[in-house]
Amino acid sequence: NGIPSVTVPHPNIIFVQEFGNLPLLFHENPREVLVINSGAGGLLHELLKYPLNKVDYAELDPLIIEMLKKYPSDLTQGELGDSRVNLINLDGRFFVRTTSNAYDIVLLGLSNPSDLSANRFFTREFFSLVKPRLKAGGILAFCLPGSLTYLSSDLRDLNACILNALKKTYSYVRIIPGDYNMFLASDSPKILEPDPDLIFERITKRSIKTDILFPDYLRYRLNESWIKWFDKSSSGATSQINRDSAPFAVFEALVIWNKQFSQKLTHLFDFFKYTNVGCAGTVIFILTIVIFLLFRRKSWFVKFSVGYSIASSGFFAMLINLILIFSFQVYYGYLYHKIGILISIFMAGTALGSILMTRALPKIKDGLKLLLQCEITIILFTIVSAFILTSFMEGFPYIALLFAGLFFISGFLVGLEFPLAANIYLDKKSQIGQTAGSLYFLDLAGGWVGGVLGGIMFLPVLGLFNTCMLIVLFKLSSLLFLARGRILQDRCP
C-alpha cells in the first residue's frame, strides 16, 4: 500500500529508540516481550539491549523476512540472528488468540489504523485478547498519529475512539503525546509512577546506550504540561469506541487522508461522519413513498418492483460479501490467501441457486409470490448473520465451516432470484435481450452502491450490525413494492 514497513539500514532513530526503550523502562524488570509487526529494522535492536530471556516476533508476511535476509545489513543480521528472537510467521492477533505464553511487554508495531486490516489491532476486542497474555504488571504499548502543535478534530477523534477502547479494557493508561502519541496500558498502577529521573536511573542501572534518551530530553518528552495540553486539545472528542464490528478509526484515518490529498471530498466525508442507520432508514422510507406515488400503473409497477428487487439483491450480494470478508479477516488475520476460495464458494451457491430455479420455472404459477418469499428469506438470513457475526462468532467451534456456509447460502439466495425475475419480466412481453440487459444493469447498479459506500461509510461509520440492518431496510422496501405489484396483478390479471 505504499507505506514503508521496514527502513534499513538507517531506521527512524527517534521513533525506534523511544518506542523500543520507553515501554521497557516503565516496567520494573522486563524479561519476555512480544512484538507484533514491524520489529525488524531497528525496534528489535533496541529491545535486545536489555537482559531479556525471549522476544517473540510475530510477522504475518514471510516475504519481509526473506527480503531482509536476501539484502542483509549489520542491523537486521544482528536482530534476526540473536538466539533470543523467536520469529513467528503468523498474524499477530491470531497468535495472541492461540498462544498460552505470557509477556511483560507487548509492543504493537503498527501505528495507524488506516484500513480494515490494520484496524483490528486497535479495537476493544484486540485489547481484551492481549490482556490475559500480560503478566502481572505487564504493559501493552503502541503509537498513533499525533502533534505537539495542533490536534484537528479528526486527529483528535482518531486517538479518542481508540483511547476509549483502551480505557474500557485496562485500569491504567498513560499517554506520551508527541508527533506520534505513545499509549501505555496496564492493570498495574505502577505504570503511572515513573518520572524522568526514575527512567534515566533505570537506563543507567541497565547500562542502556541510546542517542537521545538523556535527562534533559526525558524531562521535555515526559513533561506533564504535554499531558495537560493533550487533555485540553481532546476536549469534545468522540465517545465512540473503536471495535471489530464498528471500525470508526478507519473512517477517521480516511478523513484525515482525504483532507491532506483530496480536499474536494472533505464535505462529503463530513456528511458521512454523522450518518446513522436512522438517517439511512428515513431516506429509504421517503424514496419508497415517492416511488409508490409515481408508479401507479400496473404494467409499469410490476416490472419496476421486480427490477427494484434485483437492484436491492445486487446491493445485498456486494455488501454481504464485504461484511463476511471483513469478518473473516478480523478473525483469521489473513485474507488474500483464502479470498479466491471464499468468492468461489459464493459463486458456487449462486450457480446452484440459478440452476435449481431455472429447472423449476415451468412448474411455477405465481412468480411474484415466490419472489416475495425469496426476499423474506434474504431478510431473515441477513438478520441471523448480523447476530452470528457480532455475538456468537468468537465461541463457535467450527468457524471455517460457518464462514463457508454463510458465503454459500448468500450466493444461493441471490442465484434463486435472477431466473425468477427474468421469467416475470418475459411474461410482460419483454424481449430477451432487453430483459437480460435491464436486470444485469440493475444488479450492477445495486452492487456498485453497496461496494463504494460499504467500505468507506457503512462499515466504518454504521458498524457491521447496523450495516446488516440497512440491508434489511432496503429489502423491506423491495418487499413492499413486490407485495403491491402482486396485489395489482391479482386485481387485473
**Local confidence pLDDT in tens for the 493 residues of the chain:** 566 777 888 888 899 999 999 999 999 999 999 999 988 989 999 999 999 999 999 987 888 888 888 888 889 899 999 999 999 998 899 899 999 999 999 999 988 888 888 899 999 999 999 999 999 999 999 999 999 899 999 999 999 999 999 999 999 999 999 999 999 999 999 999 999 999 999 999 999 999 999 999 999 999 999 999 999 999 999 999 999 988 999 999 888 888 877 777 777 777 777 788 888 888 888 988 888 777 766 667 788 889 999 999 999 999 999 999 988 888 877 666 788 899 999 999 999 999 999 999 999 888 889 999 999 999 999 999 999 888 866 656 678 889 999 999 999 999 999 999 998 878 766 678 888 888 999 999 999 999 988 888 888 888 899 999 999 999 999 999 888 887 777 665 5
Cα dihedral 362/363/366/370 (nearest 10): -100
Q: Which of 58, 45, 47, 49 is nearest to 101 (CA)?
A: 58
Q: Scanning the structure block, which residue is given the C-alpha cell 524479561?
A: 31
Sheet containing strand 172-176, edge to edge, reads 85-88, 54-58, 32-36, 103-108, 134-145, 180-186, 172-176
Residue 70 CA: distances (Å) to CA of 67, 86, 324: 5, 19, 37
**Segments of 65-179 assigned E as strands:** 85-88, 103-108, 134-145, 172-176
Q: Scanning the structure block, which residue is given the C-alpha cell 515526559?
A: 222
Count of H helices and E strands in the chain? 21, 7
Q: What amino acid occupies position 268?
A: L
Q: What integer pLDDT is reported at residue 72 of this predicted model?
A: 87
3-state secondary structure of 144: strand
Q: What integer pLDDT is reported at residue 386 of this predicted model?
A: 93
Three cell numbers written together for 267: 464535505
Q: What amino acid occupies position 279?
A: C
Q: Scanning the structure block, which residue is given the C-alpha cell 513533561?
A: 223
Residue 114 half-sphere exposure, CB side, CA atoms within 13 Å? 11
Three cell numbers written together for 81: 540472528
DSSP for 37-58, written as a single string: S--TTTHHHHHTTS--SEEEEE
DSSP for 249-296, written as a single string: HHHHHHHHHHHHH-GGGHHHHHHHHT--HHHHHHHHHHHHHHHHHH--
Q: What integer pLDDT is reported at residue 429 of this predicted model?
A: 60
